[in-house]
Structure formats: C-alpha cells, structure tokens
Structure 1
C-alpha cells in the first residue's frame, strides 16, 4: 500500500502530525481510516457504515461518551 495514497483532512492545517487520514481501497470499496499519530492502527468501513457513523455523530448519538 502506497503511503502517497492516504488523504489528510483539509482541516489538518500546517501538515502537523495530528490528523485524520483516509484511504479508499478501489478493489473492494473499503475505506481505511487512521489517526496520523498512530498510523499502524487503522479502522476499516464500507461507505455505508461510514455514512451511518457520520450521521450518528451529527445527530449527537455519541455525545454521552465525552
């Protein structure tokens, strides 16, 4: 897997090492996500799973965890 394929959030700013990065695996459509400070730990999700998670975040479903 090429390191150049990882995309950083446009909100990362300054190229620091505290960013969310994503990588789309075209062969199966899986999206990989990682936090740039710990690049060896990744989360994999389908586009549908990621969309459901984002929708839940926006709806406040995870606010009780803070």
Structure 2
C-alpha cells in the first residue's frame, strides 16, 4: 500500500518541507529533501508533542 504524503500550504517550494501521512493507526513524518527517512509516530504521542509545542514546553529546548 502506497502512502499519500501531505505538506502544509505554508511550506515554500524549496524542497525542504515537513510532510505527514496516515496509514491505519499510525502517523508517518518525513522531510521532503530526505524522503527515504521516515518516522512512524503513534497519534497519541504526536498529539502530546504538538500540544507541548503550542504551550511553549520546548522553547528552551536546545
């Protein structure tokens, strides 16, 4: 089964964009300039990460 990748409409056409896909119960993430490297993330973990970003949890993360 092939994965259909989506990228944000805010992404420029530079070829360096974050892309996301969903298949079954998993979420997949990759960078468009390195499409062979794919991360599989469970939806609950992705949701927790995004909430942390929105609330500033990672602002001082270096």
In the superposition, the TM-score normalised over structure 1's length comes to 0.78
Cα distance, 1:48 vs structure 2: 1.0
User: Whole-Å Cα distance in 2 between the matches of residues 10 and 2 of structure 1?
Assistant: 22
Are residues 1:19 and 2:3 paired? Answer: no
Greater helix share, structure number: 1
Measure, in 2, the Cα distance between the counterparts of 1:2 and 1:12: 23
Superposed displacement of residue 59, structure 1:
1.2
> Unaligned regions of 5+ residues in structure 2, if any?
none
Q: Stretches of 4+ moved more than 4 A in 1?
A: none
TM-score by length of 2: 0.82
RMSD: 1.6
Which structure is higher in strand share? 2
**Whole-angstrom distance in 2 between the partners of 1:64 and 1:23:** 28
Structure 1: runs of 5+ lacking an equivalent? none
